[in-house]
Amino acid sequence: MSMQPIKRALAAVALCGLALPALAQTTVSDAWVRASVPQQQATGAFMTLTASSDSKLVSVASPVAKTVQVHEMTMKGDVMGMREVKSVDLPAGKPVTLDPNGYHVMLIGLGQQVKEGDHVPLTLTIEDAKGAKETVQVEAEVRALTAGAGHDHAHQH
Amino acid sequence: MTDLLTRRAVVAGMGVLGLGLLAGCNPARGLDFKYGKNMSNEILGRKFKLKDTQGNERSLSSFYGSMPMIFFGFTQCPAVCPTALARAVQIRNMLKGRDRELFQVVFITLDPERDTPEVLDAYVKAFDPSFTALTGTPEEIDAVAREFKVFYEKVPAGDTYTISHSSTSYVYDTRGTLRLSLGHSLNAKECTEDLLTLMEIC
């Protein structure tokens, strides 16, 4: 829980010294951003994250967008529900996919059109169970606006 | 009644073939859809008046002679909307000849404040140049959503908002009668099968 005493976390960090941040490592694969059309103000970013120890994704930043949020999409019957979430749990060793059908990153307030073939820098901040923060730099490839949203992949391939 | 008479007159004018079509489309016979829902007894979306991205007024009658598949969304939607549009592209590609010509995708924005006609036009045409997008004032969109019984709501997200909304697609026959609803979970092949069932007899 976030209620975990900070002191304990600090003590743990102090005890383990510099070795600790090196232990908690998160790898990111298949990062991509959906292309936008001119004047479109927002688009989504998707990827698969694997943390080496129980962690959570707490924030994302990108120079292409004023605001970056993590949203969660859920289907309830025929209604697609969308909401902002404060963090995404990354259990140790378990790949967590941010895709159009669940958690995903929203790039909001785009400075300019995001074009297919471009690369979008993303800075992910990941916090482990002890509260130690790690940042991961990702270059996400921009794919066509029409790129598969995952759903049909599951269905047809 | 006048409507019915006019329709009969038109059908009579079309001759035996026309009568056959009318009989085939009679909801009492039941359209046997495998995946979607037969909506022949529902009345939705009969009265909407919106603008296309060129500023022309469009209503259901604007699409007579084609089979419009109408659904709702917003361009900042990361998930359901591009998936639904990509599925529509796949459906269109699976349809051949006359069936493909009949199939008309109509995307109605639920976010008219941010989806300017320019953005909307570029967005749907990035999927397929034949797709149409409709917009209106927030009040008009609200009325249309109610008419289609489409649920949508703005969800605050930081200093901006996102939108939760219904994801069903509605298909009308060439005379503007609602026939079929296709859920978001159906894939393009399943949708196409049902569309072909409808196109065979309507």
Residue range B56-73, pLDDT digits in tens: 999 999 999 999 999 999
Tell me which of A8-17, A72-81, A113-122 is least confident.
A8-17
Q: What CA–CA distance (Å, rounded) separates B11 from B36? A: 28
Partners of residue B155 in chain A, C-beta under 8 Å: 81-84
Q: What CA–CA distance (Å, rounded) separates B175 from B184? A: 25
Q: What is the pLDDT at residue B19?
A: 44
Q: Please name the member of B122, B151, B155 whose beta carbon is closest to the beta carbon of A83.
A: B155
Residues A60 and A124 sit within 8 Å (Cβ to Cβ): yes
Task: Check B82 against A146: CB less than 8 A apart.
Answer: yes
Residues A103 and A60 sit within 8 Å (Cβ to Cβ): no
Q: What is the pLDDT at residue A11?
A: 52
Residue of A nearest to B169 (CA): A78
Interface test with A, best of B83, B128, B170 (most A CBs within 10 A): B83
Query: What phi and psi values does residue B67 have, to the nearest 5 degrees?
Result: -110, 95
Q: CA–CA distance from A48 to each of A90, A105, B71 (Å)?
A: 10, 12, 30
How many distinct structural domains can be found in chain A? 1
Lookup: tokens for A68: 């970056």
Task: Check A80 against B122: CB less than 8 A apart.
Answer: no
Banded model confidence at residue B178, pLDDT cuts 50, 70, 90: very high
Q: Please name the member of A37, A71, A149 whose beta carbon is closest to the beta carbon of B123.
A: A37
Tens-place pLDDT, residues A84-121: 999 999 999 999 999 988 999 999 999 999 999 999 99
C-alpha B38: how far from chain center: 14
B75 part of contact set with chain A, CB < 8 Å:
yes
Banded model confidence at residue B31, pLDDT cuts 50, 70, 90: confident
Task: Check A79 against B90: CB less than 8 A apart.
Answer: no
Mean pLDDT (chain B, rounded): 88
The answer, yes or no, to whether residue A4 has pLDDT greater than 80, is no
Position A43 in a domain: yes
Task: Check A148 against B183: CB less than 8 A apart.
Answer: no
Of B75, B108, B165, B199, give the one whose Cα is nearest residue A42. Answer: B75
- Which residue in the block uniquely carries the two structure tokens 């309507």? B202
Q: What is the pLDDT at residue A39?
A: 94
Q: What is the pLDDT at residue B200?
A: 87
Position A152 in a domain: no
Which residues on neighbouring strands pair with residue A50, listed in sequence order? Answer: A27
Partners of residue B135 in chain A, C-beta under 8 Å: none
Task: Check B157 against A37: CB less than 8 A apart.
Answer: no
Q: Once rounded to an integer, what is the mean pLDDT over residues B129-158?
A: 97
Position A94 in a domain: yes
B129 part of contact set with chain A, CB < 8 Å:
no
Q: What is the bridge-based pairing of β-strands A65-76 and A103-110? A: antiparallel
For chain B, domain boundaries: 1-28, 31-201
Chain B nearest CA to A80, separation (Å): 5
Task: Check A146 against B85: CB less than 8 A apart.
Answer: yes
Position A67 in a domain: yes
Percent of chain B beyond pLDDT 90? 78
Banded model confidence at residue B4, pLDDT cuts 50, 70, 90: low
Chain B nearest CA to A10, separation (Å): 30
Query: Strands, E, within B64-172: which ranges?
Result: 67-73, 103-109, 132-135, 152-157, 160-166, 169-172
Position A153 in a domain: no
Interface test with A, best of B164, B165, B191 (most A CBs within 10 A): B164
Chain A nearest CA to B9, separation (Å): 39
Higher pLDDT, B185 or B4: B185
Q: Once rounded to an integer, what is the mean pLDDT over residues A117-132?
A: 96
Parent domain of A134: 6-141
Q: What is the pLDDT at residue B27?
A: 54
**CATH code for B31-201?**
3.40.30.10
Banded model confidence at residue A68, pLDDT cuts 50, 70, 90: very high
B116 part of contact set with chain A, CB < 8 Å:
yes
What CATH number is associated with residue A76?
2.60.40.1890
Q: Please name the member of A39, A41, A146 whose beta carbon is closest to the beta carbon of B89.
A: A146
Banded model confidence at residue A56, pLDDT cuts 50, 70, 90: very high
B93 part of contact set with chain A, CB < 8 Å:
no
Q: Which helix (H) or strand (E) holds A65?
A: strand A65-76
- In total, the C-beta contacts within 8 angstroms joining chain A to chain B are 120
Q: What is the pLDDT at residue A32?
A: 97
